[in-house]
Amino acid sequence: MSEITTIGIVGAGQMGTGIAHVCSLGGYDVLVSDLSQERLDASRTRMSQNMARQASKGAIAQADADAAMKRIQFSTELGQMAHADLVIEAATEDEKVKRAIFADLQSVMNKDAFLATNTSSLSVTRLAASTDRPERFIGLHFMNPVPVMKLVELIRGIQTNEATYEMAKGLVDRLEKTHATAEDFPAFIVNRILMPMINEAVYALYEGVGTVESIDRAMRLGANHPMGPLELADFVGLDTCLAVMRVLHEELADTKYRPCPLLVKYVEAGWLGRKADRGFYDYRGETPVPTR
């Protein structure tokens, strides 16, 4: 396959929506699939609003935004992926869920199409081995929020061939983003460094070293971070933070990656951050209020 013209996205959550957004602006035809029509409708609305915001700021032309939205199709039917040259899985960070999606995709995808995962921590080699095209499988880890963040981590599994890697680099270039190639180790580069920092911030809160506000203020002003680690955790999603820490802890077998018990409790409570209106901050009012 010499050229990618149509890209399929499986999963209409925050990441899938963002990936579809940048791919459509990049000139690709985009097929978005999700089991939930409600999520697909929310994805369409969020994408339209985000493009309108970009146009109002002059980041893109309104005509380009309008054309991009027309290039996107939304469906609960996975069968539409038969028309995709590349399918990017952007489901929740759960290996069983991802494997089930790949199993379903195999029965509908073109035999020459590429397959990618947006996993932020799981083994690309292991995921690839569960498919019928491990040599045409690669990790494409977009950063959140996708329309804003410039980096895409490229992760080759042991089986990934050179044509697939070159395809991925070409895609990133066309989307006007920058790639960093990471080896297939747990959590790759960004999350291998970022998530333990967030986890340590939660430990500092858990042990009473500082309050939510003081920890975030200290890192914003003392380390010049654009947002504090607990605010960032809420933005990423506490369930995602916990999932990545569990992968690091289980696969590297080092106690320094043990998830903080307080992080576990917040996830058990359903306080997952911004998407749940409560995490380390309560977002239900006009301004966020620390929950501890």
CATH number assigned to the domain comprising residue 23: 3.40.50.720
Residues 73 and 18 placed together within one structural domain of the fold: yes
Residue 278 has pLDDT above 80, yes or no: yes
**Domain's final residue, options 162, 182, 202:** 182
Residues 127 and 172 placed together within one structural domain of the fold: yes
Residues carrying an active site annotation: 120, 141, 153, 191
Residue 6 has pLDDT above 90, yes or no: yes
Contact of 153 with 132, CB cutoff 8 Å: no
Q: Which two tokens stand for residue 271?
A: 């306080």
Distance CA 240, CA 194 (A): 12
Contacts of 253 (CB under 8 A, 6+ apart): none
Over residues 108-115, the mean pLDDT reads: 96
| Domain, as residue range, for 237 | 192-290
Residue 97 has pLDDT above 70, yes or no: yes
Residue 193 has pLDDT above 70, yes or no: yes
Residues 133 and 250 placed together within one structural domain of the fold: no
Residues 153 and 281 placed together within one structural domain of the fold: no
> Closest Cα partner for 55 from 15, 176, 47, 226?
47
What digits encode the pLDDT tens for the residues 57-96?
A: 999 999 999 999 999 999 999 999 999 999 999 999 999 9
Residues 158 and 261 placed together within one structural domain of the fold: no
What digits encode the pLDDT tens for the residues 194-237?
A: 999 999 999 999 999 999 999 999 999 999 999 999 999 999 99
What residue has token string 């997952």? 272
Neighbours of 249 (CB within 10 A): 17
pLDDT at 2: 52
Share of the chain above pLDDT 90, in %: 98
What residue has token string 């696969």? 251
Contact of 121 with 191, CB cutoff 8 Å: yes
Which residue type does 127 have?
L
Q: C-alpha dihedral over 162, 31, 36, 154, to 10 degrees? A: 20
Packing angle between helix 62-70 and helix 14-25, nearest 10 degrees?
A: 110
CATH code at 278? 1.10.1040.10
**Domain's final residue, options 143, 164, 182:** 182
Residue 48 has pLDDT above 90, yes or no: yes
Q: Which two tokens stand for residue 149?
A: 């963040």
Residue 263 within any structural domain of the chain:
yes
Over residues 5-24, the mean pLDDT reads: 97
Residue 244 has pLDDT above 80, yes or no: yes
**Domain's final residue, options 182, 210, 232:** 182
Residue 16 within any structural domain of the chain:
yes
Residues 29 and 163 placed together within one structural domain of the fold: yes
Residue 1 within any structural domain of the chain:
no
Largest CA distance in the chain: 57
Residues 140 and 199 placed together within one structural domain of the fold: no
Residues 212 and 264 placed together within one structural domain of the fold: yes
Residues 283 and 147 placed together within one structural domain of the fold: no
Residue 187 within any structural domain of the chain:
no
> Closest Cα partner for 81 from 29, 15, 142, 25?
29
Contact of 91 with 113, CB cutoff 8 Å: no
E strand map for the chain: 6-10, 29-33, 72-75, 86-89, 114-117, 137-142, 151-156, 178-182, 281-282, 289-290
Beta pairing class for 151-156 and 178-182: parallel
Residues 106 and 242 placed together within one structural domain of the fold: no
pLDDT confidence tier of residue 150, bands split at 50, 70 and 90? very high
Q: Which helix (H) or strand (E) holds 266?
A: helix 261-269
Residues 141 and 269 placed together within one structural domain of the fold: no
> Residue 86 region, left (φ>0) first, then alpha (ψ -120 to 50), else beta?
beta
* Number of domains composing the chain: 2
Residue 106 has pLDDT above 70, yes or no: yes
pLDDT at 1: 44
Which residue type does 125 have?
T
pLDDT confidence tier of residue 3, bands split at 50, 70 and 90? confident
Residues 156 and 176 placed together within one structural domain of the fold: yes
